[in-house]
Structure 1
Amino acid sequence: MSKSESKKSFFDRYFPLILIGGIVIGAIIGAVFGEKATKLKPLGDIFLNLMFTIVVPMVFVSITSAVGSMVNLKRLGKILGSTVAVFVITGLIASAFVLVTVNVFPPTANVTLPEAAEMAEAKTAGEMFVSSLTVTDFGQLLSKEHMLPLIIFAILFGLAMSICGGDESPVGKFFVNLNDIIMKVVSFIMMYAPIGLGAYFANLIGELGPELITDYGRVLIVYYPLVFVYMFVMFPIYSYYAGGKTGVKRMAKNIANPAITAFATQSSVAAIPVNKEACDKMGVPEDISNIVLPMGATMHMDGSVLSSIVKISFLFGVFDMPFTGVSTYAMAIVVSVLAAFVLSGAPGGGLVGEMLIVSLFGFPPEAFPLIATIGFLVDPAATMLNASGDAIASMIVTRIVEGKDWVKRKVGI
């Protein structure tokens, strides 16, 4: 039993390396064997089909159970309101930050997929608004093409569940358990991901040639420095707002452990205990950190917001579309923030957000593996920024709830 546990922990711990290894091996096979490597395409299609199948129940059940449990904390309404506001505002700031970057340093070299499907016809603003938020029939919610209406319906269902007993009600307990089951299914599917994505890339490189790899290299060159610049510029600004110079000093002294833990484990959830310890040392009250950190593990995703817009910009380049215009930028910001709010704290959870990007922008299905691979490649840095940002968010919420002098009332820290 302990052997199987150690095997499981080994796989979880080194999953990003295993996944990257699968992709690299697949790319090498494609480069060496060329057209012959396209015979591996069915193995890649199996992974894509499994992901497309699980994504709808995953989104609905995870959001319903989260909202149904969260809204029970009525006593901490101000904390919850402040927390959500901080998450959204920092997400918007991250969006503006990355938009400037991708316009100065485009993450793609305008490679066009030869078999790219035609993009959906442009809709009026009103049609796009209605079709983005709602569907005409319940059955349409069960399609991956209508991800945002599904999210909205799940939030409404979760709110109703909380009013009717929350996670202690029979339905609430059912959804909590069903969410655990679905996430376990996702973990099973993810065990196949190194083979599936490796086969996909063997086919892709066999068809398009190794030049596509250089585009991913460019994405990494753009994204990783972007994350560290954001941390060294925005984190001190946020901390100064939260607690002045003392807040900045406490942040700088205690932020390393959460950041390193999140980078190594690829999981914001795994970083919660270390984040909790950092918040205690920074003087954040327990009732605030106990709410902000778990919520932040799945909802506060500045690193994922940065990566979402990089992905969107990348796809625009791949499909030879200009990533310009106020409406395009606004849509990218909205989609990236929404995607961040539905990401899971576990490795691979960003696939939901990537599905949302493909769905809302009308990209063809073959776009999903491209940005899914980018997601895995940038996940260490994104998770590091996400998780360490939760501690910063806890400080900001404390400032809002307890006043700007809260940091002076904490002694001996």
Structure 2
Amino acid sequence: MEAKGGLIPRLANGNLVFQIMVGIVLGVVVASVSSQAAEAVSIFGSLFVGALKAIAPILVFVLVSTAIATKEVGAGANMKPIVVLYLVGTFLASLIAVLASFLFPVHLVLIDAANGSFNPPDSVIGVLKGVLFNMVDNPVNALATGNFIGILVWAIALGVAMHYSSQETKNVSHDIAQGVTKIVRFIIRLAPLGIFGLVAETFSQTGFGALLSYGKLLLVLVGTMLFIAFVVNPLIVFIKRKKNPYPLIFTCLKESGITAFFTRSSAANIPVNLNLCKKMGLNEDTYSISIPLGATTNMAGAAVTITVLTLATVHTLGISVDLPTALLLSVVSALAACGASGVAGGSLLLIPLACSLFGISNDIALQVVAIGFVIGVIQDSMETALNSSTDVVFTAACDEKEI
């Protein structure tokens, strides 16, 4: 009886979101009191993100292959409507970012800041080629490097091949999936400690001083992303489900968005989203595929970042933009966003691609990329929170149990 009421069992069974909020507050306090202490506890954040990134590729590979191998005939994964929502949501985000950029034009101070080592794609064809080559990547390399497009392709191929295997083989595959899932649950229970370390490190190293000079740019970026999260996504969900969308929106932002905000990695947040989908009682055949797919293709936040920073560059240089070009930018930004990496800062390297539409040189575009890294502590966190939480929103919106 005493063990059940002990501290560790209470923490293990407590409200995870509340514990994360406590971790955020404690992280701010530690960073404010001592930078040395913040540096010391930052190891918790690094370990947490490292654990998530380590387990995510294995989790996706095992769950997807097992779901397909053990899928009953007629038990469809209902993927088509989810993919449609992913594409529509990303394009609308880019279009709204264009409107926001014209309503609130931003002018940047472009200096010689392109000192980093960058390797951006030089065309839309380059982005698509990269996606195709990722699909046929060596499966071991895909797992080692976190190439989720390649992992999905090989998992689907293995699942189809194993679909006709013996029931004993399928049972072993199912047991392995269950074991990996238990490991993920354990890692997620450590989220409050990890968030505590991440917040302490972030506030200690950056604070908000470096962001003041880019306040207007941040306001446009964050304001557009919040508009997508609280207006556009609910509207899409309402059209799909014909019921109040906000309980679903708030649940996903609270249980997925908060973690994604601090990990700043859609890939690292895949285990969190899979756990949330399971908690919501969604169809495992669907979410085991749609969540990792969304981490690489559902990129509304990335589309906003690419569009706003590109048009800020355009306004700074005094380039006039007509309606057809603005629409073309929306399409290019949406396509480029779908090729964005699922790690921190992945969308920024695609800005030169969008800037090339206006004849802007890479030298100037990379200065804008450098500005993106300066404001990345807020921009990338908001972007990832929007991207990752929307994966669950759209998956749940298309789930028959939720309609």
Of 357, 365, 370, 2:346 maps to 357
User: Aligned partners of 1:111, 1:179: CA distance in 2, in Å?
Assistant: 48
Question: How far apart are 1:88 and its partner, in Å?
Answer: 0.4
User: Aligned partners of 2:100, 2:191: CA distance in 1, in Å?
Assistant: 35
Of 48, 51, 62, 2:59 maps to 62
| 1:144 corresponds to 2:114 | no
- 2:382 alignment counterpart: 374
Greater displacement, 172-181 / 124-133: 124-133
User: Aligned partners of 1:131, 1:376: CA distance in 2, in Å?
Assistant: 21
Relative to the length of structure 1, the TM-score reads 0.60
Taking only the aligned residue pairs, the percentage that are identical comes to 8
| 1:21 corresponds to 2:25 | yes
Question: How far apart are 1:119 and its partner, in Å?
Answer: 1.8
Of 70, 73, 86, 1:91 maps to 86
Equivalent residue pairs, number: 346
| 1:117 corresponds to 2:116 | yes
User: Aligned partners of 2:334, 2:190: CA distance in 1, in Å?
Assistant: 36
> Does structure 2 conserve the Cα–Cα contact (< 8 Å) formed by 1:311 and 1:374?
no
Cα pair distance change 1:157/1:54, threshold 3 Å: farther
> Does structure 1 conserve the Cα–Cα contact (< 8 Å) formed by 2:290 and 2:395?
yes
User: Aligned partners of 2:277, 2:240: CA distance in 1, in Å?
Assistant: 20
User: Aligned partners of 1:184, 1:274: CA distance in 2, in Å?
Assistant: 15
Give RMSD over aligned pairs: 5.2
**Amino acid of the structure 2 residue aligned with 1:94:** G
- 2:205 alignment counterpart: 203
> Does structure 1 conserve the Cα–Cα contact (< 8 Å) formed by 2:12 and 2:189?
no
- 1:245 alignment counterpart: none
Cα pair distance change 1:296/1:387, threshold 3 Å: farther
Question: How far apart are 1:47 and its partner, in Å?
Answer: 3.7
**Amino acid of the structure 2 residue aligned with 1:196:** L
Question: How far apart are 1:157 and its partner, in Å?
Answer: 3.7
| 1:329 corresponds to 2:337 | no
> Does structure 1 conserve the Cα–Cα contact (< 8 Å) formed by 2:273 and 2:392?
yes
Cα pair distance change 1:120/1:295, threshold 3 Å: closer
After superposition, the C-alpha distances for 1:59-88 in whole angstroms (9 at most, x for unaligned) are 3222222222322224225x32xx100000
User: Aligned partners of 1:89, 1:24: CA distance in 2, in Å?
Assistant: 40
Greater displacement, 211-220 / 188-197: 211-220
User: Aligned partners of 1:68, 1:40: CA distance in 2, in Å?
Assistant: 41
- 2:259 alignment counterpart: none
Question: How far apart are 1:232 and its partner, in Å?
Answer: 5.1
| Stretches of structure 1 lacking an aligned partner (at least 5 in a row) | 240-247, 277-288, 340-352, 399-413
Question: How far apart are 1:168 and its partner, in Å?
Answer: 3.3
Cα pair distance change 1:173/1:389, threshold 3 Å: same
Equivalent positions of 1:25-104 (< 5 A) are 25=29, 44=42, 47-48=45-46, 51-52=49-50, 54-55=52-53, 57-71=54-68, 72-77=70-75, 79-80=76-77, 83-104=78-99
- 2:398 alignment counterpart: 393
User: Aligned partners of 2:348, 2:142: CA distance in 1, in Å?
Assistant: 13
Cα pair distance change 1:299/1:310, threshold 3 Å: same
**Amino acid of the structure 2 residue aligned with 1:120:** N
Relative to the length of structure 2, the TM-score reads 0.62
Question: How far apart are 1:93 and its partner, in Å?
Answer: 1.1
- 1:347 alignment counterpart: none
After superposition, the C-alpha distances for 1:4-58 in whole angstroms (9 at most, x for unaligned) are 34323546122553454367557867xxx9xxx5996676577457635752x43
> Does structure 1 conserve the Cα–Cα contact (< 8 Å) formed by 2:89 and 2:300?
yes
Of 284, 292, 307, 2:301 maps to 307
User: Aligned partners of 2:212, 2:311: CA distance in 1, in Å?
Assistant: 17
User: Aligned partners of 1:301, 1:145: CA distance in 2, in Å?
Assistant: 14
